């Protein structure tokens, strides 16, 4: 079972996989991993993870997930994104 926090996602192993959230067009939420660490297989079973890293050209990219409003976990992802936004606003104030 995945749990979404303002700064990452926890799977059944209870390890935090750090990420950030960004609201895109049409309500889509972009989840981007941090520090070039791959998302776990548990996350990959639930979401389509994209990563266009090309080691031959030294191009590295974090794992990315685009969560559409139709996805069953969208409400949990949306709530985590809102909490992340609140943290940023609180720091800015």
6-24 tens-digit pLDDT: 999 999 999 999 999 999 9
Of 46, 1, 38, the C-alpha closest to 17 is 38
**pTM for this predicted structure:** 0.90
44-88 tens-digit pLDDT: 999 999 987 666 776 788 899 999 999 999 999 999 999 999 999
Question: Is the distance from CB of 56 to CB of 45 less than 8 angstroms?
Answer: no
Q: What is the pLDDT of residue 55?
A: 66
* Burial environment of residue 14 by CB neighbours within 10 A (0 to 12, 13 to 18, 19 or more): exposed
Q: What is the pLDDT of residue 58?
A: 66
Helix, strand or coil for residue 51? coil
Tokens of 35: 């520090």
Q: What is the pLDDT of residue 87?
A: 94
Question: Please, which residues have CB within 8 angstroms of residue 3's CB and are 6 or more apart in sequence?
Answer: 9, 10, 76
- Taking residues 36-50, what's their average pLDDT? 95
């Amino acid at each position: 079972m995945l749990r979404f926090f303002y700064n990452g996602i926890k799977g059944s192993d209870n390890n935090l996989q750090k990420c950030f959230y960004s609201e895109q067009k049409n309500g889509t939420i972009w989840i981007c991993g941090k520090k070039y660490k791959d998302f776990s297989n548990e996350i990959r079973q639930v979401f389509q993870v994209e990563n266009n890293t090309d080691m031959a050209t030294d191009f590295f990219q974090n794992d990315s997930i685009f969560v559409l409003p139709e996805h069953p976990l969208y409400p949990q992802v949306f709530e985590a994104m809102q909490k992340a936004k609140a943290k940023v606003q609180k720091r800015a104030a």
